[in-house]
């Protein structure tokens, strides 16, 4: 079979013994468990025996960001736990796909990125949101990410300052988790971060996260940028899909757009990035060394969609440089 269940464990202590004595490729992990919570176990696992972990959780409310914290600790991905509005049939296809992808994920990179981010957070000062608006609203940044994207987007957006353009971001994350993720980023970033809503006008000093389960597009109405949230078929198995956002930006924003494609598996975003470049926008692909998974950026580079290939810690500066050049 393509996926073999090697074993089950009722609590982290049983799981620890099985992991030490069996050859395991991927672990699915709940957060609420007897004897030890999932976050504590994940810290232990990543310290002593790093391996791909997929969080299967029902903790999706904005006032309980535990699932997002798990991703920051090094978990590869996240899916809804069956129950309530989600049946086993609703999540099984997504879970199987993510298990297959996680099995090939270089978890050492994920753990290293998580450790680096934690160190930066310890050394950073408290965040105060800016209340000032930027004079021009013509500039726009669009960002796409998948596997490892929670860490990458935090590292990117915490470098944004008040003179940055507004940004629209798509990350492959299930429905209901994106609100928690946006709230988490909002507590860490100088700019305001929120989950995008249909029909709202893109405002300066704001970063918009596409809601899980829906595509996000950007439209133009005169000088304003309007966010559209729509249902529709999955693209490369994803909804939201980076290509949907990028293609809409190519059409409605064109040369006034700067796009960045970050770590992630698969092809999503590659064609859309090429469309933005062809429309006169500036495009940036994260380099292989700083990626958790060099999939989506690699495909964009192969298509000729990247104007620049650069490490994650240099992307924010490049976005600012090239959005300033738009209005100069």
Structure confidence by residue, pLDDT tens digits, 162-198: 999 999 999 999 888 899 999 999 999 999 999 999 9
**12-104: which CATH topology?**
Rossmann fold (3.40.50)
DSSP states of 199-210 as a string? TPBP-TTEEEEP
Output the pLDDT for position 32. 85
What's the CA gap between 214 and 160, in Å, rounded?
A: 26
Cβ count near 233 (within 10 Å) = 7
Closest CA to 77 of 317, 292, 316: 292
Helix axes 107-123, 149-157, angle to 10 degrees: 30
Average pLDDT over residues 234-249: 95
- Do 242 and 272 form a contact (C-beta atoms < 8 A)? yes
Where in the chain are all domains bearing CATH 3.40.50.2300?
Answer: 12-104
Cβ-proximal residues to 252 (8 Å cutoff; 6+ apart), any chain: 218, 219, 220, 225
Output the pLDDT for position 131. 31
The per-residue b/e assignment along 246-273, b for 16 or more CB within 10 angstroms, e otherwise, is: bbbbbebbbebbbbbbbbbbbbbbbbbb
> What would the two tokens of residue 256 be?
């006034």
- Local confidence band at 284 (pLDDT 50, 70, 90 cut-offs): very high
- Do 172 and 146 form a contact (C-beta atoms < 8 A)? yes
| Residue 37 pLDDT exceeds 90 | no
Where in the chain are all domains bearing CATH 3.40.50.180?
Answer: 140-327
- Model confidence, pTM: 0.83
Strand 257-261 vs strand 140-145: parallel, antiparallel, or unpaired? parallel
Catalytic (active-site) positions: 146, 172, 268
Output the pLDDT for position 65. 76
Query: What CATH number should be reported for the domain whose range is 140-327?
Result: 3.40.50.180
Sheet of 27-29: strands edge to edge? Answer: 27-29, 53-57, 77-80
| Residue 127 pLDDT exceeds 70 | no
Output the pLDDT for position 133. 32
| Residue 243 pLDDT exceeds 60 | yes
Token pair 């999932």 is found at: 38
Token pair 């992990």 is found at: 29
Token pair 């293609």 is found at: 247
Per-residue DSSP letter, 3: S
The enclosing H or E element of 178 equals helix 177-188
Give the residue ranges of DSSP H helices in 12-162. Answer: 12-21, 38-48, 66-72, 88-103, 107-123, 149-157
| Residue 251 pLDDT exceeds 60 | yes
Any idea which of 89-98, 286-295, 304-313 has the lowest mean pLDDT?
89-98
Which residues are bridge partners to 169 per DSSP? 143, 209
Output the pLDDT for position 124. 62
- Local confidence band at 126 (pLDDT 50, 70, 90 cut-offs): low
Output the pLDDT for position 75. 87
Output the pLDDT for position 192. 96
Any idea which of 2-11, 75-84, 235-244, 307-316 has the lowest mean pLDDT?
75-84
Average pLDDT over residues 224-240: 94
For the stretch 136-163, pLDDT in tens is 347 899 999 999 999 999 999 999 999 9
Cβ-proximal residues to 4 (8 Å cutoff; 6+ apart), any chain: none
């Amino acid at each position: 079979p393509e996926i073999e269940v090697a074993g089950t464990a009722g609590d982290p202590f049983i799981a620890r013994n099985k992991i030490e004595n069996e050859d395991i490729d991927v672990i699915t992990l709940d957060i609420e468990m007897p004897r030890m919570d999932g976050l504590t176990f994940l810290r232990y696992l990543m310290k002593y025996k790093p391996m791909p972990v997929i969080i299967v959780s029902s903790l999706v409310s904005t006032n309980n960001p535990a699932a997002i914290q798990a991703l920051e600790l090094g978990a590869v991905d996240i899916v809804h736990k069956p129950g309530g509005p989600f049946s086993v049939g609703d999540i099984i296809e997504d879970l199987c796909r993510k298990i297959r992808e996680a099995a090939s994920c270089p978890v050492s990179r994920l753990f290293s990125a998580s450790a680096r981010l934690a160190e930066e957070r310890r050394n950073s000062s408290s965040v105060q949101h800016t209340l000032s608006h930027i004079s021009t609203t013509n500039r726009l940044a669009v960002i796409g990410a998948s596997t490892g994207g929670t860490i990458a987007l935090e590292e990117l957006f915490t470098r944004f300052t008040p003179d940055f353009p507004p940004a629209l971001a798509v990350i492959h994350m299930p429905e209901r988790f994106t609100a928690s993720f946006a709230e988490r980023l909002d507590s860490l970033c100088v700019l305001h971060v929120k989950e995008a809503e249909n029909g709202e006008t893109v405002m300066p000093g704001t970063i918009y996260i596409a809601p899980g389960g829906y595509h996000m597009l950007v439209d133009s109405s005169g000088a304003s940028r309007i966010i559209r949230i729509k249902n529709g078929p999955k693209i490369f198995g994803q909804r939201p899909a980076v290509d949907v956002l990028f293609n809409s930006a190519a059409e409605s924003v064109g040369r006034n757009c700067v796009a960045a494609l970050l770590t992630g598996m698969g092809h999503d975003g590659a064609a859309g990035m090429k469309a933005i470049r062809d429309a006169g926008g500036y495009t940036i692909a994260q380099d292989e060394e700083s990626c958790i998974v060099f999939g989506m950026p690699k495909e964009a580079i192969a298509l000729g969609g990247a104007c620049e290939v650069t490490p994650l810690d240099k992307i924010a500066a490049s976005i600012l440089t090239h959005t300033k050049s738009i209005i100069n």
